[in-house]
Amino acid sequence: MAGNPNGNRHQIMRPRRPLTLRDVSEASGVSEMTVSRVLRGKGDVSIATRLRVQEAAKRLGYVPNKIAGSLASSHVNLVAVIIPSLGNMVFPEVLSGISEVLATTSLQPVVGVTDYMPEKEEKVLFEMLSWRPAGVIIAGLEHSEAAQAMLARAGVPVVEIMDVDGDPIDACVGISHRRAGRQMAEAIIAAGYRRIAFLGTKMPLDHRARKRFEGFTQTLGKAGIEIVDQEFYSGGSALAKGREMTQTVLARSPDVDFLYYSNDMIGAGGLLYLLDNGVDVPGQIGLAGFNGVELLDGLSCRLATMDACRRAVGIKAAQIIAARNADPALPAGEMVELTPTLDPGDTLLRSFVA
């Protein structure tokens, strides 16, 4: 420092090899073991050594190698989160609940996306398990046999989320989509609608939408009502698709009085279409979607919907992982069924009965 006539040449050539604990050890004159203790904040280290080590680590720009650390300690702070998609607003909200909780722990979420494809789910799961995560949060209860076997053998907490209609491998947090479909059917019937159409995603891929549909038609059936028409879609902008599908259904079945959509975005598209065409909503035609997508707050007319408790699901799932991680002796198989609330918005006539 004092009087060091170092010229202003370029920085010292950096070694292109990543720094190791040993580099910090040599730079600070402290054993590797003690450096490791300082950097992890474990064990008793004198304040003096601690400072020397920290200074050296910072000066060198040392970034610990978690690969080596995890191998040595057989502890990985990663939680695998496997979801079908990031392209709609539903899973990002689950994620945000998960992140929020894990941020209070030493755990970190790692996200894998399956695009609703079982083979891809299997692949992503295998890939993630090969990093030996501390836990797995995975959407849905339907998985290939291989995937189920992997989850069962993983030896870490597994939380299946979003759905409770089925047999969980371990823990489970979600809502009953069958019940949600039934509840919506009841509300629609109570409001006096009778000629009801269903508009949804192509469903073999989306088990939750399928279960809602099943619960829905089942309850209608008990009331002696049959779906008047149905229409399915796959790709594209959901809003535009909702418009198209609605137009198609109305052309084919001009006498429908209710449209039940498998998600809010296509529902909103349908709503906009009807309003543009001067249809009396909810007098002539009522509508309902599913999810409680906050994104749509701000439409001139609020679509009836049912909240899927997405954030709450993420929070609870992460809490289970965190708790079991902190205390592996905790019992497995926790089951949490959340209760979605029906929001009639402006597109579902209020019924006279409660």
Partner DNA sequence: TTGAAAGCGCTAACAT
Partner DNA sequence: ATGTTAGCGCTTTCAA
Q: Where on the chain is the footprint of DNA (CB under 7 A)?
A: 17-18, 20-22, 30-34, 36-37, 39-40, 42-46, 48-50, 64-65, 68-69, 71-75
Helix (H, G, I), strand (E, B) or coil at 306: strand
The residue assigned the tokens 């939408």 is 209
CA distances (Å), origin 47, targets 25, 31, 97, 226, 276: 16, 15, 38, 76, 71
Q: How far apart are CA 303 and CA 265, in angstroms?
A: 10
Phi, psi values for residue 299, rounded to 5°: -70, 150
227 binds, among a copy of itself, DNA, none (CB under 5 to 8 A by kind): none
* Closest separation in Å from C-beta 135 to DNA: 18
Token pair listed for 176: 């009953």
33 binds, among DNA, a copy of itself, none (CB under 5 to 8 A by kind): DNA
Q: How far apart are CA 17 and CA 174, in angstroms?
A: 47
39 binds, among DNA, a copy of itself, none (CB under 5 to 8 A by kind): DNA
Sign of the Cα pseudo-torsion (112, 115, 116, 117, in order): negative
40 binds, among DNA, a copy of itself, none (CB under 5 to 8 A by kind): DNA
Contact criterion met (CB below 8 Å) for 312 and 273: no
The residue assigned the tokens 């003096």 is 48
Restricted to residues 282-301, the positions that interact with a copy of itself (CB under 8 A) are: 294-300
1 binds, among DNA, a copy of itself, none (CB under 5 to 8 A by kind): none
Q: Does 71 bind a copy of itself (CB under 8 A)?
A: yes
- The residue (of 18 and 204) whose beta carbon lies closer to a copy of itself is 18
What does the binding site for a copy of itself look like in residue numbers (CB under 8 A)? 14, 16-18, 61, 63-68, 70-71, 76, 86-87, 89, 92-93, 95-96, 99, 108, 110-111, 113, 126-127, 129-132, 149-150, 153-155, 237-243, 265, 269, 272, 275-276, 294-300
